[in-house]
């Protein structure tokens, strides 16, 4: 596997609502590898994802984010998305009156390519991308969501799978998944695990997974594991730490393995 | 028998309790009267374009008939498959003696100065009837066009769906957007007989200075279904309407859907009222209002439950796109007896940053994200609407030039 850098966080400081949340985080992500970001609740994991994606309420006050060597902190979310960064949301909002299948068809990479040639407008015509679309819904066992308004009344597990499907259909180079496994039952967990594994095996995507689940990370054979605490990266290791981490919990684990 | 003329004269100056008062004397009558024609070839290209903007296509094959009226007296009509009966109301009154039992029956002639004006100076309108047991799936199309400035257009329509019949009617009302001030008064009386069904889809597209005062009411008999779908996505000078449905027969049902996309400095005051008078009646009033530019929108709704065992729901949702626009939702519930189940939900909001962020992260531009949210908000799926009509509605929504971003 090549060790080409694709994304770098350099001394990243981020404020939300004038409160410092991230306090100097530096991480290098290499192409097509799998990274785990773990840490206690409220430590800043989602904030890292939002800052990379470019949420307007999360201001970079110091440091930089480089994507393929270029600073992206002044780029809009749309620009970052079109450059190949995608995020599966932890708590996505409801979009009334927009059906999930139509939406996925509209955003999917292949439709985007056709539509870009046609004066930049989307087609969003379901029949044009039916095979992939139908297959995806089937594979993730969310065919019941096809004709529903986006995220309207979706269960936790349905949200995870719908987010995963959307992100997959964007065919991104960097895929950030914010707790893609929370609230899933055993069967769905396996399903999501298998789907993520397929992405890893196809070797075209860098995956950044925020999770608490040892199962997913071991199954995916995460290349690196970072622990975030109070807005800082406090540990840097690989998947071999997971059993100990699970046994001891963050507090005790960090007491014994301090980086600081 | 009541004397409509006399009642109308008495109500000549009676103001409407809602809506800005309009001085009717400013508007003229046509100079030259045209006569009823049956040939569609005489519709000019420009007129066709206007009609298509409101979902009426004279060349459409899948239609059961057409009625077009331009200004006061130019009328075209046909009944293609001979199933639905279509006539100018003036001809229908002459033809059918019994029509007087329907004329000014659902709507009172002395409701206000506007109903009075239509009685005192009638320009025409349509009479459409589906005969007993006739289920006509292809829609009947009607277009009322106001093309000349400074005139008034006084319309009286009557729609009768006889027992066990089914009718789908789309009516487009349209003016060129730059027209000088003009006035449209439209009376529509709907009669849905036992176990009959009517879907009525009305699409309005007026000029910036057009004044509009429709007055309509429906009477639904036992087991009858009335679905009303009203869409206005254009400027208008000032529009006020408050259609009323009387569910008189047991187990009859009515659903009223309204979509308003307010633009410019237009004023829209649109309501929907259902009076549930019998056992097992059901009603639903749903409105989606979107305030752009400096538009002012009132979304009214009223449910009156008069018989135990009736059930109805009212839903007014507003989306504010501009700080200069104003939305007001006025839901009213009235139970006149016990055992009545009425509910309502009213919301007014704006587009959330969170929604934009979400859609943009999927590669949409901010503008695309905004219009997707607005279009989604406007989407209402009307039950029982034939696919061609749902498409008409969807197309009309697609035509909206989404302003404000
Ligand atoms: N928009 C915001 N305004 C203020 N505080 C915020 C905002 N977003 C997140 N925070 C705070 O930042 C901290 C980190 O949040 P988050 O990144 O969501 O944590 P995690 O995902 O690790 O659980 C929390 O204390 C949270 O309350
Ligand atoms: Mg989080």
What ipTM was reported for this prediction?
A: 0.94
The rounded Å distance from CA A45 to ligand 1 centre is 8
Q: What is the pLDDT of residue B382?
A: 81
Q: In what helix (H) or strand (E) does residue A59 lie, and over which residues does it extend?
A: strand A58-67
Q: Ligand 1 pocket test: which of A15, A47, A177 has the largest number of ligand atoms within 8 Å of its C-beta? A: A47
Chain B contact set for A78 (CB, 8 A)? 360, 363-366
A17: left (phi over 0), alpha (psi -120 to 50) or beta: left
**B358:A76 CB<8 A:** no
Nearest Cα residue to atom 18 of ligand 1: A46
Query: In this structure, is residue B367 part of a structural domain?
Result: no
Q: What is the pLDDT of residue B59?
A: 79
Please list the residues that pair with B216 across neighbouring strands: B188
Q: Give the span between the Cα atoms of A119 and A121, in whole angstroms.
A: 6
Q: Give the span between the Cα atoms of B361 and B354, in whole angstroms.
A: 11
Q: In what helix (H) or strand (E) does residue B366 lie, and over which residues does it extend?
A: helix B366-378
Among A136-150, B28-42, B119-133, top mean pLDDT goes to: B119-133
Does pLDDT of A260 surpass 70?
no
Beta pairing class for A95-99 and A149-150: antiparallel
- Of A204-208, B9-13, B34-38, B39-43, the least confident: B34-38
CA distances from B266 to B135, B209, B235, B243, B258 (A): 39, 8, 6, 20, 17
The domain limits of chain A are 5-90+168-256, 95-150
Crossing angle between the packed helical segments A186-202 and A156-169, to the nearest 10 degrees: 10
User: In the numeric block, which tokens belong to residue B119?
Assistant: 């009685």
Burial of A2 (0-12, 13-18, 19+ CB in 10 A): exposed
User: In the numeric block, which tokens belong to residue B55?
Assistant: 């979902």
Can you list the positions of beta strands (E) in A82-199? 85-88, 95-99, 149-150, 174-178
Beta pairing class for A34-38 and B140-145: unpaired
**B336 close contact with A: CB closer than 8 A:** no
Q: How many CB atoms lie within 10 A of CB B162?
A: 17
Backbone angles phi, psi at A4, to 5 degrees: -70, 135
Give the gap in angstroms from C-alpha A156 to the nearest C-alpha of chain B: 17
Which is more confidently placed, B399 or B113? B113
**B357:A56 CB<8 A:** yes
Go through chain B and tell me how many residues it has: 405
Q: In what order do the strands lie in the sheet with A34-38?
A: A85-88, A174-178, A206-210, A34-38, A224-229, A232-237
Q: What is the DSSP letter of B54?
A: T
Q: Give the span between the Cα atoms of A54 and B35, in whole angstroms.
A: 65
CATH class of A5-90+168-256: alpha beta
Does pLDDT of B36 surpass 80?
no
Q: Of B214, B239, B217, B235, nearest to B226 (Cα)?
A: B217
Name which of A97, A166, A172, A176 to mutate to probe chain B: the one with the most chain B Cβ atoms within 10 A of its Cβ. Answer: A97
Can you list the positions of beta strands (E) in B165-295? 166-174, 182-192, 197-205, 210-220, 225-232, 238-241, 244-247, 253-262, 267-270, 273-276, 282-291
B282-320 in b/e form (b: 16+ CB < 10 A) is bbbbbbbbbbbbbbbbbbbbbbbbbbebbbbbbbbbbbb
User: In the numeric block, which tokens belong to residue B385?
Assistant: 């609407």
pLDDT tens digits, one per residue of A50-81:
999 999 999 999 999 999 999 999 999 999 99
Q: What is the pLDDT of residue B213?
A: 98
Q: What is the average pLDDT score of chain B?
A: 92
Q: Give the span between the Cα atoms of A198 and A136, in whole angstroms.
A: 13
Tell me, rounded to whole angstroms, the distance of Cα A159 from its chain centroid.
13
pLDDT tens digits, one per residue of B317-375:
999 999 999 999 999 999 999 999 999 999 999 999 999 999 999 999 999 999 899 98
In the structure, what pLDDT confidence band is assigned to residue A217 with cuts at 50, 70 and 90?
Answer: very high
Q: Give the span between the Cα atoms of B34 and B242, in whole angstroms.
A: 32
Q: What is the DSSP letter of B322?
A: -
Does pLDDT of B165 surpass 70?
yes
Residues 6 or more apart whose Cβ sits within 8 Å of residue A135: none
Query: In this structure, is residue B32 part of a structural domain?
Result: yes
Q: Give the span between the Cα atoms of A33 and A226, in whole angstroms.
A: 14
A132: left (phi over 0), alpha (psi -120 to 50) or beta: alpha
In the structure, what pLDDT confidence band is assigned to residue A132 with cuts at 50, 70 and 90?
Answer: confident
Q: What is the pLDDT of residue B215?
A: 98
Query: In this structure, is residue B404 part of a structural domain?
Result: no
Q: What is the pLDDT of residue A119?
A: 38
For the residues A229-252, what does the mean pLDDT come to? 94
Q: What is the pLDDT of residue A118?
A: 42
Q: Are B33 and B75 in contact (CB under 8 A)?
A: no
For the residues B309-314, what does the mean pLDDT come to? 97
Beta pairing class for B244-247 and B197-205: unpaired
User: How many A-B residue pairs are in contact by the CB < 8 A criterion?
Assistant: 61
Q: How many CB atoms lie within 10 A of CB B334?
A: 13
A14-46 in b/e form (b: 16+ CB < 10 A) is bbbeeeebbbbbebebbbbbbbbbbbbeebbbb
Q: Give the span between the Cα atoms of A118 and A122, in whole angstroms.
A: 8
Does pLDDT of A150 surpass 90?
yes
Number of DSSP helices (H) and strands (E) in chain B, helices first? 7, 22
- Of A116-125, A136-145, B300-309, B394-403, the least confident: A116-125
pLDDT tens digits, one per residue of B362-395:
999 999 999 899 989 998 878 778 887 888 888 7
Nearest Cα residue to atom 6 of ligand 1: A16
Q: What is the pLDDT of residue A157?
A: 92
- The ligand that comes nearest to the alpha carbon of residue A89 is 2
**B378 close contact with A: CB closer than 8 A:** yes
- Give the structural domain span for B219: 2-352
**A97:B376 CB<8 A:** yes
Q: Are B229 and B5 in contact (CB under 8 A)?
A: no
Which is more confidently placed, A194 or B392? A194
pLDDT tens digits, one per residue of B98-133:
999 999 999 999 999 999 999 999 999 999 999 999
Looking at the CA of residue A58, tell me the nearest atom of ligand 1. 1
Q: In what helix (H) or strand (E) does residue A158 lie, and over which residues does it extend?
A: helix A156-169
**A86:B361 CB<8 A:** yes
Does pLDDT of B68 surpass 60?
yes
Looking at the partner chain, which of A80, A97, A170 has a beta carbon nearest the beta carbon of B379? A97
The rounded Å distance from CA A184 to ligand 2 centre is 16
Residues 6 or more apart whose Cβ sits within 8 Å of residue B253: B220, B224, B225, B226, B247, B281, B282, B283
Looking at the CA of residue A17, tell me the nearest atom of ligand 1. 3
In the structure, what pLDDT confidence band is assigned to residue B39 with cuts at 50, 70 and 90?
Answer: low
**B345 close contact with A: CB closer than 8 A:** no
Q: What is the pLDDT of residue B402?
A: 57
- The ligand that comes nearest to the alpha carbon of residue A38 is 1
Q: Give the span between the Cα atoms of A249 and A227, in whole angstroms.
A: 12
In the structure, what pLDDT confidence band is assigned to residue A125 with cuts at 50, 70 and 90?
Answer: low
Does pLDDT of B403 surpass 50?
no
The rounded Å distance from CA A16 to ligand 1 centre is 8
Q: In what helix (H) or strand (E) does residue B343 lie, and over which residues does it extend?
A: strand B341-350
**B361:A53 CB<8 A:** yes
Query: In this structure, is residue B368 part of a structural domain?
Result: no
Name which of B261, B288, B363 to mutate to probe chain A: the one with the most chain A Cβ atoms within 10 A of its Cβ. Answer: B363
- Of A206-215, B36-45, B185-194, the least confident: B36-45
Q: How many CB atoms lie within 10 A of CB B218?
A: 27
Q: What is the average pLDDT score of chain A?
A: 90
Query: In this structure, is residue B335 part of a structural domain?
Result: yes
Nearest Cα residue to atom 16 of ligand 1: A44
User: What's the pTM?
Assistant: 0.88
**A166:B362 CB<8 A:** yes
Residues with CB under 6 A from ligand 1: A 16-17, 19, 21, 39, 41-47, 57
For the residues B224-253, what does the mean pLDDT come to? 96
Does pLDDT of B1 surpass 70?
no
pLDDT tens digits, one per residue of B231-242:
999 999 999 999
Provide the domain count of chain B: 1
Name which of A54, A86, A90, A93 to mutate to probe chain B: the one with the most chain B Cβ atoms within 10 A of its Cβ. Answer: A93
**B357:A95 CB<8 A:** no
The rounded Å distance from CA A35 to ligand 2 centre is 16
Radius of gyration of chain A, Cα coordinates, nearest whole angstrom = 18
């Amino acid at each position: 596997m090549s060790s080409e850098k694709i994304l770098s966080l350099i001394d990243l400081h981020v404020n939300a609502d004038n409160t410092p949340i991230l306090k100097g985080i530096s991480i290098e992500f290499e192409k097509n590898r799998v990274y785990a970001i773990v840490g206690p609740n409220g430590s800043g994991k989602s904030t890292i994802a939002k800052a990379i994606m470019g949420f307007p309420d999360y201001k970079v006050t110091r440091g930089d984010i480089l994507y393929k060597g270029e600073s992206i902190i002044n780029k809009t979310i749309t620009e970052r998305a079109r450059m190949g960064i995608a995020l599966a949301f932890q708590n996505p909002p409801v979009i009334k009156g927009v059906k999930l299948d139509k939406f996925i068809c509209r955003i999917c990479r292949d439709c985007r390519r056709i539509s870009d040639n046609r004066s930049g407008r989307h087609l969003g015509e379901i029949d044009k991308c039916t095979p992939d679309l139908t297959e995806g819904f089937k594979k993730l066992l969310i065919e019941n969501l096809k004709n529903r308004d986006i995220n309207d009344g979706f269960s936790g597990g349905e949200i995870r799978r719908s987010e995963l499907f959307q992100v997959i259909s964007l065919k991104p180079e960097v895929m950030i998944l914010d707790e893609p496994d929370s609230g899933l039952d055993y069967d769905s967990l396996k399903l999501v695990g298998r789907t993520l594994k397929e992405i890893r095996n196809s070797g075209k995507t860098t995956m950044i997974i925020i999770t608490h689940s040892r199962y997913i990370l071991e199954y995916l054979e995460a290349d690196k594991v970072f622990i975030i605490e109070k807005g800082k990266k406090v540990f840097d290791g690989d998947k071999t730490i997971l059993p100990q981490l699970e046994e001891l919990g963050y507090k005790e684990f960090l007491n014994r393995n301090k980086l600081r | 028998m009541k004397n409509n003329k006399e009642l109308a004269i008495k109500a000549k100056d009676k103001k409407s309790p809602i809506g800005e008062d309009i001085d009717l004397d400013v508007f003229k009558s046509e100079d030259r009267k045209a006569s009823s024609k049956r040939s569609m070839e005489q519709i000019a290209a420009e007129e066709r374009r206007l009609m298509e903007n409101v979902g009426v296509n004279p060349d459409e094959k899948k239609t059961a008939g057409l009625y077009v009226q331009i200004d006061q007296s130019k009328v075209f009509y046909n009944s293609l498959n001979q199933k639905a009966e279509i006539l100018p109301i003036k001809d229908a009154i002459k033809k059918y003696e019994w029509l007087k039992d329907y004329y000014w029956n659902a709507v009172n002639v002395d409701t206000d100065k506007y109903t009075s004006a239509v009685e005192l100076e009638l320009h025409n309108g349509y009479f459409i009837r589906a005969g007993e047991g006739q289920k006509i799936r292809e829609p009947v199309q009607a277009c009322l066009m106001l093309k000349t400035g400074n005139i008034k257009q006084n319309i009286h329509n009557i729609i009768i769906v006889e027992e066990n019949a089914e009718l789908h009617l789309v009516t487009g009302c349209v003016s060129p957007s730059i027209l000088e001030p003009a006035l449209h008064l439209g009376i529509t009386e709907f009669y849905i007989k036992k176990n009959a069904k009517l879907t009525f889809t009305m699409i309005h597209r007026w000029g910036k200075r057009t004044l509009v005062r429709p007055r309509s009411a429906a009477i639904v008999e036992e087991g009858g279904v009335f679905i009303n779908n009203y869409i206005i996505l254009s400027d208008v000078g000032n529009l006020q309407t408050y259609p009323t449905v009387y569910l008189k027969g047991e187990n009859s049902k009515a659903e009223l859907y309204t979509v308003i996309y307010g633009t410019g400095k237009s004023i829209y005051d649109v309501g929907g009222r259902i009076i549930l008078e019998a056992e097992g009646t059901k009603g639903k009033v749903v409105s989606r209002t979107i305030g752009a530019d400096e538009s002012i929108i009132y979304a009214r709704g009223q449910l009156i439950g008069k018989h135990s065992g009736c059930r109805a729901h009212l839903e007014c949702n507003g989306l504010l796109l501009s700080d200069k626009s104003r939305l007001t939702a006025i839901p009213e519930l009235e139970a006149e007896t016990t055992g009545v189940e009425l509910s309502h939900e009213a919301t007014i909001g704006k587009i959330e940053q969170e929604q934009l962020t979400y859609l943009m992260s999927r590669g949409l531009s901010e503008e695309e994200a905004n219009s997707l949210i607005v279009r989604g908000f406007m989407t209402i799926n009307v039950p029982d609407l034939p696919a061609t009509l749902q498409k008409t509605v969807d197309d009309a929504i697609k035509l909206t030039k989404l302003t404000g971003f």
